[in-house]
Structure 1
Amino acid sequence: MGKVAFLFAGQGAQYVGMGMDLAKNFERAKKIFEKADEALGYRISDICFYGPEEKLKETANTQPAILTHSVACYFLLKEEGIVPDVVAGLSLGEYSALVAAESLDFEDAVRVVRKRGIYMQEAVPLGEGAMAAIIGLARQEVLKACELASDEGVVEAANFNSPDQIVVSGHVKAVEKTLKIAKEKGAKKAVMLPVSAPFHCSLLKPAGEKLEKELEKTNIKPAKIPVISNVTAEAVKDPAAIKELLIKQVSSPVLWEDSILKMKELGVDTFVELGPGRALSGMVKKIDRSLTTLNVEDSESLANVISYFRGNR
């Protein structure tokens, strides 16, 4: 067996009821949710477990909710002696990865991502920004489509998720024109995404500036295991570099495909996704079908992963 990477879920994976089963069955998970409630000064656990969905979908709640669920999954694996050689997270998930690498304390991370959510939402007025997924079109063709649509406003590649899926972000009209051009260029699918802001494009730079002030007050320590940065798809451990990349990450494209390939290059052949959903596992398989993917989000999937590692080590 090669090396193991833990991947942490990003925004969009949330669902009402997430983490409830773990908190009911495992004292360690329950304590993580209690710590999050205490750090935030309100019961994010209730929003995770009971909703309502509209409240969970608010960016300022979604981000700490997913982080809390993801970190609870991590500590349950750690208790079983299952630890990663390298970590990465999709956008918001990078904060969960930094908690796993002991670069950020959990309570600090949960407070920072709530503020991050607020800043990201405030950066562009509701209704002015959009994001869309383009499937089945080469990277260069998507970038060309963005360039051709830029007369309608800002539109940029935001997520390079897999060889056949790229997300674009920017002003609504520019994003809509990009989709039209992408379809003309032969994209299999080009659809608007149900998000509240145009994440990971230059319109979010004001959010990065506010986040910088928040990170100034946060204790970032050297990462004990390599964290693959969304911005560079390279391993990072140094606190100053981590901080700089977290600020850039808000308005820069997420190099997810490149990050998975980097981990493969480092000898990783098993990827364990932590937190709600299985979107990251699907992306890994699209990048390289030979890679092993597992996930932990509830008691059943946790038991399956523990069983897998006991049988393979």
Structure 2
Amino acid sequence: MSKIAFIFSGQGSQYVGMGKELYDNSDIVKETFKEASEVLGFSVEDLCFSSTEEELNKTENTQVAMVTMCTAISRYLKSIGIEPSMTAGLSLGEYSALVTSGVLDFKVAVDLVRKRGTYMTQAVEQGKGAMSAVIGMERDAVEEVLKVGREKGIVEIANLNCPKQIVISGEKEAVEYAAGLLSEAGAKKVIPLKVSGPFHSTMMKSASEKLHNDLKNIEFKTFKIPVISNYTAKYFENESIVENLRMQVMSSVLWEDSVKFMIEEGCNTFVEIGPKNTLSAFVKKIDRGVNVYNVEDLTSLEKLTKGLEG
């Protein structure tokens, strides 16, 4: 019997119009967007479906748009009988996972990620930080090179996405210097990312501290579905939720390790919820033997339902 994991997209895969087809065809999706709009005091439908890329790509906007869309699709899947055995999300996607697990109220999550996005934007002056994707090097080799790169400032591993695909983050000069060193050391590609800050680095410490103050005041419920943490690549425990979410903002995202853990726990079907198929590609590079689906519209939903029936 299939053991299904829902995995939720993070920031960076958003686009104007995402989720519109499912919104037009599902009352549950419409209701989810309505709830988010009521909390925030503006139309999340307009933000997702008719705003500009520039507006949607503002971190504080991206985060609420993604969590709303992902939660809406998760609710829809549950309504038609597709339930996960476990769940996880990449960075921001972790909040959608926690909502799906029942431990975090959706309306609370929407308000929280709006603040999280604002704190992350405020943490580092625009242009001072940078991130780059490193293709074709093992994590140990990358870390060795970064030790030299730190001569120019802060540069750290931000994401361990899948084998030989790693993201680095930190001060702009140090990241650029490290990029040159990594290329010399054998990286196939080092690609600068279009981001508004050095996420998942210690430069996000002030954002982490502000978020911590909010997290301490939230009532977390009991897990109905297990969630795997970005910070530990193990199951969340109720007593560690606040600390894990605090540290997640300024620590490496252990995505490859998280997927391997889910597979070890018996998961053989991964359903990526959210726009595009970034996480699906990562999962297939980690283990080609598992089933992988992405759901963001009616066509991809049909592929999932047929795949599960088969």
TM-score (norm 2): 0.98
Counterpart code for 2:54: E
Determine the C-alpha separation between the residues in 2 that align with 1:188 and 1:2.
36
SS of the aligned residue for 2:300 comes to helix
Q: Which moved more, 1:122-131 or 1:145-154?
A: 145-154
RMSD: 0.9
- Asked if residue 304 in structure 1 is aligned to residue 303 in structure 2, the reply is yes
Determine the C-alpha separation between the residues in 1 that align with 2:43 and 2:82.
29
Question: Is this contact kept in 2: 1:77–1:306, CA < 8 A?
Answer: no
* Counterpart in the other structure of 2:256: 257
Provide, for residues 100-144 of structure 1, a one-character-per-residue CA deviation record: whole Å limited to 9, x for no partner: 000001100011001000001100000000000000011111111
Matches within 5 A, 1:210-249: 210-238=210-238, 240-249=239-248
Determine the C-alpha separation between the residues in 2 that align with 1:92 and 1:214.
16
Provide, for residues 56-108 of structure 1, a one-character-per-residue CA deviation record: whole Å limited to 9, x for no partner: 00000000101111011101100011100000000000000000000001100
Pairwise CA distance, 1:290: 1.0
Pairwise CA distance, 1:217: 2.3
SS of the aligned residue for 2:112 comes to helix
Question: Is this contact kept in 2: 1:222–1:237, CA < 8 A?
Answer: no
Counterpart code for 1:274: I
Counterpart code for 1:81: G
Count of residue pairs brought into register by the alignment: 310
Matches within 5 A, 1:193-212: 193-212=193-212
Determine the C-alpha separation between the residues in 2 that align with 1:303 and 1:252.
37
SS of the aligned residue for 2:6 comes to strand
Q: Which moved more, 1:83-92 or 1:15-24?
A: 15-24
* Counterpart in the other structure of 1:163: 163
* Counterpart in the other structure of 2:288: 289
Determine the C-alpha separation between the residues in 2 that align with 1:34 and 1:237.
31
Determine the C-alpha separation between the residues in 2 that align with 1:16 and 1:48.
5
Matches within 5 A, 1:86-125: 86-125=86-125
Counterpart code for 2:36: A
Runs of at least 4 residues off by over 4 Å: none
Provide, for residues 155-204 of structure 1, a one-character-per-residue CA deviation record: whole Å limited to 9, x for no partner: 00000000110000000000001110110011111011000000001110
Pairwise CA distance, 1:20: 1.2
Pairwise CA distance, 1:2: 3.4
Question: Is this contact kept in 2: 1:228–1:236, CA < 8 A?
Answer: yes
TM-score (norm 1): 0.97
Pairwise CA distance, 1:305: 1.4
Determine the C-alpha separation between the residues in 2 that align with 1:287 and 1:182.
22
- Asked if residue 272 in structure 1 is aligned to residue 267 in structure 2, the reply is no
Pairwise CA distance, 1:243: 1.3
Determine the C-alpha separation between the residues in 2 that align with 1:302 and 1:39.
28
Percent identity over the alignment?
49
Counterpart code for 1:265: E
Determine the C-alpha separation between the residues in 2 that align with 1:130 and 1:20.
32
Determine the C-alpha separation between the residues in 1 that align with 2:213 and 2:20.
34
Counterpart code for 2:159: N
Question: Is this contact kept in 2: 1:224–1:237, CA < 8 A?
Answer: no
Question: Is this contact kept in 2: 1:120–1:207, CA < 8 A?
Answer: yes
